[in-house]
Structure formats: C-alpha cells, structure tokens
Structure 1
Amino acid sequence: MGVADDFRRFRGKYIIGTDLMASIGGRYRRITRRLNRDFWDSESEHDHSRYVGSYGRDTAAKGVSDLDVAFRLPGDLYYKYDAYQSNGQSALLQAVKNSLLTTFQSSKIGGDGQVVVLTFDDGIQFEILPVFNNKAGTWTYPDSNGGGSWKTCNPQAEIAAVSVRNAAVNGNLKALCRMMRIWRDHNSVPMSGALIDALAYQFLENWEHRAESFLYHDYMARDFLKFINDQDKDKAYWRMPGSGSYVYRKGPFGYHAGVDHKYAVLACGLQGEENGPARRAHWRTVFGNTFPV
C-alpha cells in the first residue's frame, strides 16, 4: 500500500466511531427534550438546540469527550434575569441546571461560570450554553464570573466558515483538523481544538496542494507542522474564522511541532511500498498508534 492508502486507513481510525456518535446523539436529544419541556413547553428533541465547538464544526476526532451544545431560550427570560439586582446570570445558569437535574439525577452536573456541565459515568461531558438570539445573528450568553455580565458569541458563523472552506479544499480542512487533534493528544500539546481549526483554516488558504486527495495528506501534515512551528512564539491569540473571536494560546506548542516536522520530512522522503514500514514508523512517531501499521 502507498501513501494514499496509508492516510485513507488513518482516516478510518481518527474519525469518531458510529457507536460513540449514536451515544452522543441520544444524550443530545434527551438534553434538548428536557430543556424544551421546561423552557418552551415542547417535547421536541431538536428545536432550539445546536452542537457548537469542535463537534459543531465537524472537526472533532476519535477520543472526543467534551461536547458543546448551545440551547436558545425565550427572549423574555433575558429581561427577567437581566433585571436581577445581583448576578442574574448565575440565577439563569442555576435554572438550566435545575431543569437538567430532573432527568439526569445520577449524572454529575456542575458549571464553570458560563455553561452548565453535565458529565456522564463514561466520562463524556456536555457543556450546555444557554443563549438568546440577537438581530445581528449572534447570541448573547450569561457569564456569572465577576458579579455577572452578558457576552456575545457567533459560533454559527464559525461553522459556516469552516464548511465553506472545507468544500473549497476537497474536504482537506476537516481532515487536517482531525489529524492534528490526534497529534496533539499523542504528544500532550497545549493547544485547544479551536486553535487547531483556526490555524488549519489559515494554512489551507494558500497551501499549493489544498485541493488534492489523500495522496498529498502526508505533505499536508508535514507542511502544517512547519506552519505551526513558524508561528510567532510571543503571539497570545489568533482569530476564529467566521466570528473573529479570540482564541488564546494555552502554552508553548512550537517545540512539539518542530520536532515532529523533522519526522514528517523523513516520512515524506520514503516513497514506494518497499519503504512502507519505515515510513509508517515515522508517522507513528508523529501520530501515535492511531496511525496504521
């Protein structure tokens, strides 16, 4: 098997399995139905709810454990909680938490100041962000930190931007984002999924082979590692495509990318099936055991 076959098999191992997707979908529908009952007097399992974050952008990979879900609330509730003399945002998050406790008594439910966190026994965690629609197409959400405030986000624009660019580059944007999550997890690199997506989006704007097939996925991984390594070491944040929201650096990541770029260069120099075992060994150094032997 050649390079294209290697990376096609790699894709089969880094995408999220159907069993996990089914489990996530079932829990998502139960969460949505519970919140719709209490806030919309509805039994819908889909209305007012949307995946956001990596899963919403369709860039999540095997091993995903955190799911971000935005749930839209009726607009009159914004005025109700905004009228609180002290931290109505905290009261709103507590109302969402109490609703979920009705259905998920055996699960751990907490929060981090902006979301309600629902953790299942198998470690899968849903972070539910209550939101209100704005005329501009953005969402307003509560932040209970520092006495409480309202903030604005636009994950819908991020999802749309990633989808449009992915279609323009033959599906390579989402493939690259997923591959690099495997790299990050294997090497414990301090990078958020959002930062991987933002950098991959920038990289593929001008990469010369951006619309090629699996045959170029080795070059894509190699060149993206160099692109990461070449980022300004003092830069504190980047911008998300679509929304322009800030994505902050979590820690130093250039060193890991620089080291693995060298292995990627070696792997790309080993063409032909006679070099297959050595080539795959280099890629397994970069990506770990998820890369096929």
Structure 2
Amino acid sequence: MDSVAEQFAVFLAQLHPSPEELAAARETAATAGAALRAHFRPDVSSTGPDFLVVGSIGKRTATRPLPPVDLIYLLPRRYPTPASALAEVALAVAGEDSGDAVCLAGGRVRILPALEHGNAYLIPVAGRWRASNPAAEVAALRLIDGLGGGLATRLLMLLRAWRDANAVALASFELENLVREFVTQEAPVPGDFVAALTEFFVWSRRFTPCRLELPGGRARLEIDAAWHGAAEAAYWRCVLAQRASAAGDHAAATEEWRRLLGSAFPAPAAPWNSRRLLG
C-alpha cells in the first residue's frame, strides 16, 4: 500500500464512529421514542414498532462528529398538514420545531413525525408531506456498496468530510443519492479513493442539476447546481495533491488533502528506514 492509500485508510478509520458512540446515539433516540409513545400511545406498554432510526446513523454511514439522530415517529392518526403534526410533537416532548423536524436533547435528536403511506412513510419536507422509504434506501445503498467493493459508503464518508470542511451547501441525503448514481454509472475502481474523488467532482457537475427518483419509487429529489463552484475547486485540489505526490512532495500533497477534507487528514507515515533510525 502506498503512502497516500495509507493516509486515506487512517483517515477513514478516524471518521468511523465507535460502537459505543453509535450505541449512545441509539439510546438517546430510544429515550425520545419512549417519551413520544407516552404522549401518543399511553395505553401501549410494550415497545412496538412506532419509531425508526433513519439517516446516516440508521444506515450505518455516519461519520465523526456524529450528526443528530434522525428518528421517524409514526403518528397514530392523520394530520392535515406537516405543521400541525410538528406542533403536537414539539408540545409532547418540549422540543423545538425547526419546520421539518422537532429537535430534542440539545439538538442531538431530530424527530420526523410520519404518516403511514403503503410500505413507506410521509414525512415533512419544505412544508409538505413527502414519501420516504427508509428500507428501500438502505437496500439500494447496500446493493451498490456490495457491487462496488464497499466504495460507495467510504466515498460518501469522504464527501461528507469535504462538505463539512468547506461549508458546501449539500445535504447528506443529496450526497448519498449522488454517490449511488455515480458508482452505478461510472463503476470507479474499488479502494482507489484519490481517483474516485477526482472523478466524482467532474461527473457530479455534469450530472446536476437533476431530479432523481428515490429508492421505492414514490418520490423524487431535486439537486441544484449552487455548489458547483465548490466542486470545481475540490477537483483542482485533487489535481494539485496528485501532482505534489508524483513529484515526491508529500508534505505539499498532505496540505492539499487537508484543505479538501479537513485538518484531521493524517500526515504520511515515516518510511520504514526512517522509523528504524528514529527508534
């Protein structure tokens, strides 16, 4: 494994939350679910399937620092508008209504009130009910991840790091669906994250703006082009980093990767003979 590949492997390991962190997040979600059940279903003593952890934590693609836990709560009756459902949920748990969700536990949980919709749900999005099929989303991501040798999930983690480090206006769900389309269409080489990132920043600007059919086939996702400037800058960061590596300037290459992915991107390991001398 070359130096850059080792750096990416270490960085991805750093991004991956520990089992303890994920367990704590799910416990926080369970506490919120119990509070919702006590309000909406006070006669139900057992833990029925009235809530579901979704988002990156539910799909096991979350990165450090952990985002809020997205929790779908299945309401026991219909509500005419998302606003009316959000208002009652906020009242039930003394949470803050953000317009699309109710935030709880200092922002660590986002409650998405939901209505049954066949084998899917209706959740609030931009003031309207939108169909969401979490099971189909997970299945689609797992399928493309399996076909691509695990590349999709890891590329998604790297792109979230890029988004966070550079304040890019792309939601995690938008990135997830773009990655799924990219791996499907372009079939990048598994494990070659440098090439995958570089190719993604070119492909994504050609592919968007777009209107994607979401897994489950009940809704579409519109992705605009407002972030194209950030993607173009990211592409040139990749090019500069690769040129520096080819010239043997690993410090300059690392600096470019840090500008792209954040300051936590690791320095290259010392060569074996250097480690031996230092030891």
Alignment partners' CA distance in 1, 2:47 and 2:242: 47
Corresponding residue for residue 197 of structure 1: 176
Corresponding residue for residue 104 of structure 1: none
CA contact (8 A) 1:68 1:127 kept: yes
Corresponding residue for residue 200 of structure 2: 224
CA contact (8 A) 2:100 2:112 kept: yes
Instruction: Please report how far the alpha carbon of residue 289 of structure 1 lies from its aligned counterpart in structure 2 after TM superposition.
Output: 0.6
Where 1:290 maps in the other structure, the secondary structure is coil
2:90 counterpart letter in structure 1:
K
Instruction: Please report how far the alpha carbon of residue 259 of structure 1 lies from its aligned counterpart in structure 2 after TM superposition.
Output: 1.7
CA contact (8 A) 2:131 2:218 kept: no
Corresponding residue for residue 138 of structure 1: 120
Instruction: Please report how far the alpha carbon of residue 220 of structure 1 lies from its aligned counterpart in structure 2 after TM superposition.
Output: 1.1
2:59 counterpart letter in structure 1:
R
Instruction: Please report how far the alpha carbon of residue 150 of structure 1 lies from its aligned counterpart in structure 2 after TM superposition.
Output: 4.9
Instruction: Please report how far the alpha carbon of residue 175 of structure 1 lies from its aligned counterpart in structure 2 after TM superposition.
Output: 0.7
Alignment partners' CA distance in 1, 2:126 and 2:151: 39
List aligned pairs for 1:90-129, cutoff 5 A: 90-101=83-94, 109-120=95-106, 124-129=107-112
Q: Deviations over 1:126-163 (max 9, x none)?
A: 2212223233x121346895xxx754332332222112
1:229 counterpart letter in structure 2:
R
Alignment partners' CA distance in 1, 2:124 and 2:164: 31
CA contact (8 A) 2:205 2:225 kept: no
Q: Which consecutive residues of structure 2, in runs of 5 or more, have no partner in the other structure? A: 268-279
1:56 equivalent to 2:58? Answer yes
2:166 counterpart letter in structure 1:
N
Structure 1 residues 260 and 46: alpha-carbon distance in aligned structure 2, compared to 1, 3 A threshold: farther
Q: Deviations over 1:44-90 (max 9, x none)?
A: 5673221223333333322343332101233xx22xx45xxxx6x54
Which TM-score applies when normalising by structure 2?
Answer: 0.81
Alignment partners' CA distance in 1, 2:254 and 2:19: 26
Structure 1 residues 255 and 150: alpha-carbon distance in aligned structure 2, compared to 1, 3 A threshold: closer
Instruction: Please report how far the alpha carbon of residue 224 of structure 1 lies from its aligned counterpart in structure 2 after TM superposition.
Output: 1.1
- Matched residue pairs, number? 265
2:71 counterpart letter in structure 1:
V
Corresponding residue for residue 15 of structure 2: 14
Where 2:149 maps in the other structure, the secondary structure is coil
Structure 1 residues 286 and 242: alpha-carbon distance in aligned structure 2, compared to 1, 3 A threshold: farther
1:140 counterpart letter in structure 2:
L
Instruction: Please report how far the alpha carbon of residue 292 of structure 1 lies from its aligned counterpart in structure 2 after TM superposition.
Output: 0.9
Percent identity between the aligned chains? 22
Instruction: Please report how far the alpha carbon of residue 96 of structure 1 lies from its aligned counterpart in structure 2 after TM superposition.
Output: 2.5
Which TM-score applies when normalising by structure 1?
Answer: 0.77
Where 1:280 maps in the other structure, the secondary structure is helix
CA contact (8 A) 1:237 1:248 kept: yes
Structure 1 residues 274 and 268: alpha-carbon distance in aligned structure 2, compared to 1, 3 A threshold: closer
Q: Which has the higher contact order (CA 8 A, sep 6+)?
A: 1
Alignment partners' CA distance in 1, 2:253 and 2:141: 31
Q: Deviations over 1:9-62 (max 9, x none)?
A: 010222234454233122111011222233333455673221223333333322
Structure 1 residues 270 and 44: alpha-carbon distance in aligned structure 2, compared to 1, 3 A threshold: farther
Alignment partners' CA distance in 2, 1:142 and 1:289: 35
Q: Deviations over 1:72-117 (max 9, x none)?
A: 233xx22xx45xxxx6x5444333233323xxxxxxx121344322
Measured on the aligned residues, the alpha-carbon RMSD in Å equals 2.9
Corresponding residue for residue 271 of structure 2: none
Instruction: Please report how far the alpha carbon of residue 256 of structure 1 lies from its aligned counterpart in structure 2 after TM superposition.
Output: 1.5
Alignment partners' CA distance in 2, 1:100 and 1:241: 31
Alignment partners' CA distance in 2, 1:144 and 1:7: 37
